């Protein structure tokens, strides 16, 4: 049973038989899978999906974890199951770590005291698994020769924010950066074709301790040219902050009958993505289990 942002219905019967209050008779474990499937209609599913959409609309357009939409989804599930079944419900709350940003990352460069503030998701983006950072003052930017694929490329990188052109595997590059003792990593696109100027989504290894950014080709090239010019003092400030922990809810529902040593567990996510209502992914399975 998944315990992270999951609503699980644990069935302590040998099959998916559930005692539902609106029916006078008890559905025993002899219920056939085909019979169960035939009992589910599009209209029944749509009723739940429509309600999930209304919940998202009233909660800022999302049902993502640790939002009003998520908590209202849990309340809807609990209310529905309480009113329509005799399942034994249990709601749990716990804190979970997250990669959600507390605010947009900051990148500022200083070139001989000329300050440039860069725009997040236009000039630079955060790489997946990047560490946090809060530079109080500027840190020297150092250009890594070639494309940073070999250990000898990183000999002078200790204590700097390494700036390296795209070309080597990101994970290999990040591991070499960590081994060399960098305090930050900036990879920039290589500009070799028209589709190699903009930002891309890349990843560094999990638990990376330093901030890792990906820069557009124009921004990276300008920084590299300045950092390689000995008459220019080039430094950068990077701030990356994550939400420390979020509250997550979990609902378990058990049948009152059945053999507790033969438990069948089915479940679905009760959340949605931050960018939408989560109807076309998690919401479909959630509606199915609500009805079943």
Q: What pLDDT sits at residue 287?
A: 54
Rounded to whole angstroms, the Cα distance separating 176 from 167 reads: 14
Q: What pLDDT sits at residue 8?
A: 39
Q: What pLDDT sits at residue 1?
A: 34
Using only C-alpha atoms, what is the Rg of the chain? 26
Quickly list H helices, the chain.
Answer: 33-38, 42-58, 68-84, 170-180, 217-228, 282-291
- Per the CB < 8 A criterion, the answer to whether 265 and 14 are in contact is no
E strand residue ranges, 66-183: 88-96, 106-111, 114-117, 124-126, 133-134, 139-143, 161-165
Q: How many CB atoms lie within 10 A of CB 193?
A: 8
Rounded to whole angstroms, the Cα distance separating 64 from 274 reads: 5
User: What's the whole-model pTM score?
Assistant: 0.69
What is the architecture of the domain spanning 6-96+244-291? 3-Layer(aba) Sandwich (3.40)
| CATH 3.50.30.30 placement within the chain | 106-239
Residues in the chain, pLDDT under 70: 1-33, 36, 280-292
To 10 degrees, the CA torsion angle through 210, 219, 167, 225?
Answer: -100
| CB-based burial label for 132 (10 Å; 0-12, 13-18, 19+) | middle
Q: What pLDDT sits at residue 9?
A: 37
| CATH 3.40.630.10 placement within the chain | 6-96+244-291
Instruction: Specify the CATH class of 106-239 in words.
Output: alpha beta
- Per the CB < 8 A criterion, the answer to whether 71 and 79 are in contact is no
pLDDT in tens, 76-86: 999 999 999 99
Q: What pLDDT sits at residue 30?
A: 55
Per the structure block, which two tokens stand in for 91?
A: 């709601």
Task: Please name which of 201, 209, 199 lies closest in space to residue 240, comparing C-alpha atoms.
Answer: 209
Rounded to whole angstroms, the Cα distance separating 273 from 279 reads: 10
Per the structure block, which two tokens stand in for 58?
A: 């009233």
Angle separating helix axes 42-58 and 282-291, nearest 10 degrees: 120
Kindly give, in sequence order, each residue whose CB lies less than 8 Å from that of residue 14, ignoring residues fewer than 6 positions away: 29, 258, 259, 262, 264
Task: Please name which of 199, 228, 193 lies closest in space to residue 213, comparing C-alpha atoms.
Answer: 199
Question: Residue 101 has what DSSP assignment?
Answer: B
Q: Is 4 helix (H, G, I), strand (E, B) or coil?
A: coil
279-285, long-range: CB < 8 A, 24+ apart:
279/49, 279/52, 279/53, 279/56, 283/48, 283/49, 283/52, 283/63, 284/45, 284/49
φ, ψ dihedrals at 94, nearest 5°: -155, 160
Q: What pLDDT sits at residue 242?
A: 95
| CB-based burial label for 277 (10 Å; 0-12, 13-18, 19+) | buried
Tokens 């560490």 belong to 131
């Amino acid at each position: 049973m998944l315990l992270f942002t999951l609503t699980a219905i644990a069935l302590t019967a040998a099959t998916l038989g559930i005692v539902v209050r609106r029916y006078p008779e008890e559905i025993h474990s002899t219920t056939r899978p085909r019979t169960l499937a035939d009992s589910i209609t599009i209209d029944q599913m749509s009723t739940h999906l429509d309600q999930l959409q209304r919940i998202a609309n009233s909660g800022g357009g999302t049902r993502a974890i640790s939002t009003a939409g998520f908590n209202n989804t849990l309340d809807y599930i609990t209310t529905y199951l309480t009113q329509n079944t005799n399942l034994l419900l249990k709601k749990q709350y716990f804190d979970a770590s997250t990669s959600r940003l507390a605010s947009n990352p900051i990148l500022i460069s200083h070139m001989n005291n000329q300050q440039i503030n860069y725009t997040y998701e236009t000039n630079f983006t955060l790489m997946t698994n990047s560490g946090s950072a809060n530079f109080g003052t500027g840190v020297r930017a150092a250009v890594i020769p070639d494309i940073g694929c070999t250990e000898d490329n990183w000999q002078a990188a200790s204590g700097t924010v390494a700036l390296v052109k795209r070309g080597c595997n990101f994970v290999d590059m990040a591991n070499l950066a960590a081994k060399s003792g960098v305090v930050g990593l900036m990879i920039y696109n290589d500009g070799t074709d028209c589709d190699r100027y903009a930002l891309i989504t890349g990843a560094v290894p999990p638990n990376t301790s330093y901030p890792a950014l990906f820069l557009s080709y124009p921004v990276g090239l300008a920084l590299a040219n300045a950092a390689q010019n000995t008459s220019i003092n080039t430094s950068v400030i990077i701030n990356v902050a994550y939400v420390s922990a979020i509250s997550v809810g979990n609902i378990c529902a058990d049948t009152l009958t059945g053999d507790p040593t033969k438990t069948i567990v089915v479940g679905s996510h009760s959340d949605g993505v931050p960018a939408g209502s989560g109807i076309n992914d998690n919401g479909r399975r959630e509606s199915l289990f609500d009805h079943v």
